[in-house]
């Protein structure tokens, strides 16, 4: 019985301490660094995917330089959109 009481008080103190720490730093540093690392690849990936789609469609329809150029720019637009969205999600 004595053991149980001791554990309860110790738990209470520990919980109080945890709450103090949680109040101090809102949103851990690691999480925000992860979000920062995330954005950079998002831009590049969309451009690459757009260009590949353009390249494949060009080969299919035989309109060699036209589609790859337009899809490259659409890939850039999609990349900016992606970055914009993940930046918005952070707030």
Partner 1 sequence: MDLNPMHQFEVYKIGPEINLNGINISFTNASLFMTISSILILALLFLGTKKKLLIPSKAQLITEMTYTFVAKMINDTAGSSAKDFFPFIFTLFMFVLFCNMVGMIPYSFTVTSHIIVTFVLASIVFIGVTIIGFVKHGIKYLELFVPKGVPFVLLPLIIIIEVISYLSRPVSLSVRLFANMMAGHTMMKVFGGFVISLGLLGGWLPLGFSVALTGLEILVAFLQAYVFAILTCIYLNDALNLHH
Does 48 help bind partner 1 (rule: CB under 8 A)? yes
Does 68 help bind partner 1 (rule: CB under 8 A)? no
Distance separating alpha carbons of residues 22 and 6, to the nearest angstrom: 24
* Residues near 80 by beta carbon (within 8 Å), at least 6 away in sequence: 43
DSSP-derived 3-state class of residue 28: coil
Size of the site for partner 1 (CB under 8 A): 27
Q: Measured in whole angstroms, how far is the alpha carbon of residue 33 from the centre of its chain?
A: 10
Does 45 help bind partner 1 (rule: CB under 8 A)? yes
Residues that bind partner 1 (CB under 8 A): 7, 30-31, 33-35, 37-38, 41-42, 44-46, 48-50, 53, 71, 74-75, 77-79, 81-82, 85, 89
């Amino acid at each position: 019985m004595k053991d149980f009481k001791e554990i309860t008080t110790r738990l209470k103190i520990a919980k109080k301490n945890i709450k103090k720490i949680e109040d101090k730093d809102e949103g851990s540093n690691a999480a925000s660094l992860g979000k920062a690392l995330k954005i950079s690849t998002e831009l590049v990936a969309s451009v690459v995917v757009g260009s590949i789609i353009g390249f494949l469609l060009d080969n299919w329809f035989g309109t060699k330089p036209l589609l790859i150029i337009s899809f490259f720019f659409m890939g850039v637009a999609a990349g900016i959109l992606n970055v914009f969205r993940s930046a918005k999600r952070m707030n």
